[in-house]
Amino acid sequence: MNRNIKIDPYGFREYDARWLYEKDINKDGIINLGKGLGTQIKLHTKKENPRIIVGHDYRSYSEEIKSALKEGLISTGCNVEDVGLSLSPMVYFAQFNLNSDAVAMVTASHNENGWTGVKMGIQKGLTHAPDEMKELKEITLNEKFLTGNGNEKQIKDFDKIYKQDLIEKNKIEKKIKAVVACGNGTAGVFAPDILRGIGCEVIELDCKLDWTFPKYNPNPEDLEMLHAIAKAVKDNNADIGFGFDGDGDRVGVIDDKGNEIFSDKIGLLIARNLATNHKNSKFVVDVKSTGLYSTDKVLRENNCETIYWKTGHSHIKRKVNHEKALAGFEKSGHFFFNQPLGYGYDDGINSAIQVCHLLNNQNKKMSEIINELPKTYQTPTMAPFCKDEEKYNVVEKLVKEVQKIKEDKKLIDDQNISEVLTVNGVRFSFSDGSWGLIRASSNKPSLVVVTESPTSDDRKKKIFDFIDDLLQKTGKIGEYDQKI
């Protein structure tokens, strides 16, 4: 066995693979990952030379990682079609457009510099879920590789085909003035062009590619990025602000008054906008999302159903596909539009386009549209540190504890827990629509905590205090990344 191969097994996450480059994985490790993925693709497609689309994001080391990955893929017999600098959704789109057998996108999305990773998929429009990741991990770490003779070709100018596809289907009449913020990530060379193409007046904010991310990580959940967009919206008197993450599959939205709108609320507005033309539709949302979906009158009037499901782009994508849902919305800003609106995968730019359609259809400002929703008091997504090797056990114990509190009818802020949902960690709800969530993060050594109350800010805080108290008692929790 080559002693130079370094791959930390913890890098194989629930639905993608992420490592700190050189520290947790080295070049030979990436080559082996390519061999593992190539072998897996051959086993699933039963083809001697399956075709795989490969792209990379704009980080200083992404091309280097991509060539190592390609080397591994080609050695198994895969024919690699390289679309160059890409967004994750562009690579997913290429699988449909070029009718290939699989995709591999080299990206660490919004993670800090130093991180790298791969988002991959075999079935069109879907990315690896836990079963496929487990299989890939086994093949790779045990070096059960197939061999073959693959080749490589460069697909030139594919970005133009991807841009055109979104522009042609989505022209709008109203002149919407939009701040487009990309945090110096890859979306900077895509989002402004596409939004201008559909008819928006675009104000660019940090759209110049710079892999040092001089201001902040391109992450639309990052408050620093959201505050910068809010300022630009107010300074330019814009109708809307959009913030895209590093690989362009997520978007954050700021209204005309500079207020941040949590993505689950945006999802609900889009669902309402779609419901009237698509009656009897299903929507899938993740367990971190607002409780308003289940009580919404517009969705009810149009006989639409909302399913709460596991957080994670791979899980929601699969559930949307499985349920033949019209769309799926994730609190982190991953939105999934199924036919006729999209191909079922998450595309931050298509999500921004759907918000533009919403503004185009209503003669109201974004702040007025959002005010039509019942007010809720919601925490940001908070991530207290918890070791990778401990986080799932910690959550398992907390699930049992919350279920016992419900059985014992223990009161939290003078309320009984009315429902406990355990599809992903534990989400417990109260009869007034308030709820709290504790789950393990899929891509970082931390837990995820969210609370919401339609009743009061105070109740939201009391539910958080209750959760924080449970967490502190475990003795396994470190610092929060942000805290209310």
CATH 3.40.120.10, the chain: domain bounds: 9-156, 161-371
What is the third-level CATH fold of 161-371?
Alpha-D-Glucose-1,6-Bisphosphate; Chain A, domain 3 (3.40.120)
Specify the domain boundaries for CATH 3.30.310.50 within the chain: 377-474
Question: What is 377-474's CATH number?
Answer: 3.30.310.50
* Number of other residues whose CB lies within 10 A of the CB of residue 305: 15
Query: 0.75 cut: is pTM over it?
Result: yes
Residue 3 has a pLDDT of 64
Domain 9-156, what architecture? Answer: 3-Layer(aba) Sandwich (3.40)
pLDDT digit string (tens) for 156-196?
A: 999 999 999 999 999 999 999 999 999 999 999 999 999 99
Q: Which residues of the chain have pLDDT under 70?
A: 1-3
